[in-house]
Amino acid sequence: MTSQPTLSKAENGPDRPGEPGGGLQAGLKNRHLSMIAIGGVIGAGLFVGSSTGIATAGPGILLSYALVGTLVVLVMRMLGEMSAANPTSGSFSAHADRALGRWAGFSIGWLYWFFWVVVLAVEATAGAKILEGWMPGVPQWGWALIVMVVLTATNLVSVGSYGEFEFWFAGIKVVAIGAFIVVGGLAIFGVLPGVDAPKAGLGNLTDSGGFLPHGPGAILTGVLLVVFSFMGSEIATLAAGESEDPQRAVTKSTNSIIWRIGVFYLGSILVVVSLLPWNDPSIKDKGSYVAALDSLGIAHAGQIMNFIVLTSVLSCLNSGLYTASRMAFSLGQRGDAPKAFARTTSRGVPLAAIVVSVVFGFVAVFFNYKFPDSVFLFLVNSSGAVALFVWLVICFSQLRMRKIIQRESPEKLVVKMWLYPYLTWATAALIVFVLGYMLTDTEHDGRETVLLSLLVAAVVLVIAVVKQKLDGSRAVAAAGADEPAVAEAVADAH
C-alpha cells in the first residue's frame, strides 16, 4: 500500500511529511476535487436569495445572472492560469503576494479570511433555523453550536474527511438541481405525467409586463443582488493544492466553470421564471424554488426545499471553515500571520488555523444572537464587497503574473486567459463599474456595503504597509549588525 503523495517542498515546510509540522498533505482524491469544483459554485444564496432578484428584475434577472456568470468565468480563467502554474493553498493571495507585493497578498488574504468567518456565522444561523423548525426541543443557538462543532471535527480529522463530506453535500445539491431542471422542463412543455401546471410556459418570460418589466436598469440592480451568491467558485483552486495532481485539478475546474454556471444558475432560474409569472406572490412569500415546486403540486415541496437548503448551508459551512483555515495557513507560511497557523499535525491538518477560524465564527454567531442589528449587521456589511475586491486583485495579479510565468517557466502556462491583456482589463473595468454602481444603491444597502467594506479594507491595507516597512527596517538593522562579523570573518580568511 502506497503512502499519500505530499505537496511540493515550498508548500510542506522544513519537516518531513507525516510528522507534526510536515505541511499539508495531498489527501483529496480526484472525485473530491471534481465535486468540490461543481458544488462550490452552488451556494445557499441561489436557493434563498433568488426570489428577491426575480421580484426586482422580473425575467430579466436571467441577464443579471448571465452578466455575473460571465464575470466569474473570466476571473476564474485568470485564476486558473496562475494556479495551474503554481498550485498553492494560498491561491490568489499567494499570487498577489508575488505579482503585486507583500502588502497585496497580506491585505486580500486577511479580507478573504474575514469574509469566510462571517459567512460561518450566517450559515450556522440559517441551518439552525431549519433544524429548530424540525426539532424545536433544541434551541436555535444549540443547533448552531452542534453544526459548528460537528463540521469543525471533520475538518480537524484530515483533509480527506473534509473532501468526503463535501463530496456528498455537493452531490446532493447537484442531483437536486438537476432533478428540478428536468422535472420543471417537462412541466413547461406540458409533458410531465400526472401534473397539471396551467401557469407554466415560456410565455411567462414576456407576458407580465415584458422581459424587462422594470426597465434595463433593473439588470444592474439584479447584479447587486446575485453577485455574492457566486462567491465560492475559487475554492477549487485552494483545494487543488492538497490534491494528488494539482495542475490537472485546476485545469479541469477552470475549463468546466462555463457549463456549471450555465446549467446550475441560468438553467434553474430559467425553469423558475417559466413555471410561474415573475410577479406571482408565492415567489416572494415562499421562495422561488419552493413556489415553483408547489405550482407542480409536488407534496411537501417546502420541506424538500428546506432539506436541500440545509445541505447547501452545511456544504457552505464545511467549505467556509476549510477555506478560512487554508488561507490562514498560507498567511502563516508567508510570515503574514502567527507562525502557529503554518504548523500542521501528523495528518497534515493546520490545527491552529482551523481553531482560530472557528473561534471567530463562534464569536460572530454570538453577535448574531445578542446584537443582530448592530455589531453583526456591521460584520456582514463590512465583508459584503470582499468578493469583488478579490476578483479585482485577481485581475491585476494576472496582468503581472503572466509576464513572470512567461519569463521563468513558460512550459507551466497550460491554462491561458483569453485575449490577454485586453479581456483582463475589460473585466477589471466591469468590476470597478459594479462597485461604483453599488454606491448609488440605497434601496438594497449597496452603498453601505461598499463603504463599510472599503473602510475595513483600508484598515487592513494600512496594517499591511506598516508591517512591510517594519519588516524592512528589521532586515536592514539585522544586515547592519552582521557587517562587523562578516568583515572579521573575511579578515580571518586572509
Q: What is the DSSP string of 67-83?
A: HHHHHHHHHHHHHHHHH
pLDDT band at 83, cuts 50/70/90?
A: very high
Residue from 151, 142, 135, 153 nearest 369 by CA: 142
- Give the chain's domains with CATH numbers: 9-493 (1.20.1740.10)
- CA–CA gap between residue 147 and residue 122 (Å, rounded): 12
- CA–CA gap between residue 219 and residue 331 (Å, rounded): 38
Amino acid 14: pLDDT? 37
Q: What is the mean pLDDT of the chain?
A: 86
C-alpha cell at 171: 452531490
Question: What digits encode the pLDDT tens for the residues 157-194?
Answer: 888 888 898 899 888 988 999 999 999 999 999 888 88
Q: What is the pTM of this model?
A: 0.87
Core vs surface per residue 69-100: b (16+ CB within 10 A) or e: bebbbbbbbbbbbbbbbbbbbbbbbbbbbbbb
Q: What is the mean pLDDT of residues 321-329?
A: 92
Give Cα separations from 219 to 19, 67, 270 (angstroms). 53, 9, 15
SS3 233: coil
Return the H-helix or E-strand segment holding 465.
helix 446-493
Contact between residue 178 and residue 253 where contact means Cβ atoms under 8 Å apart: no
Residue from 118, 116, 89, 120 nearest 105 by CA: 89
Q: Is the per-residue pLDDT at 327 higher than 90?
A: yes
Contact between residue 232 and residue 46 where contact means Cβ atoms under 8 Å apart: no
Contact between residue 395 and residue 428 where contact means Cβ atoms under 8 Å apart: yes
- CA–CA gap between residue 135 and residue 83 (Å, rounded): 44
Residue from 238, 233, 293 nearest 268 by CA: 293
- CA–CA gap between residue 69 and residue 258 (Å, rounded): 8
Q: Is the per-residue pLDDT at 1 higher than 60?
A: no
Question: What digits encode the pLDDT tens for the residues 263-295?
Answer: 889 999 999 999 999 999 999 888 899 899 888
pLDDT band at 487, cuts 50/70/90?
A: low
Residue from 306, 297, 47, 300 nearest 192 by CA: 297
- CA–CA gap between residue 492 and residue 494 (Å, rounded): 5
6 DSSP β-pair partners: 25
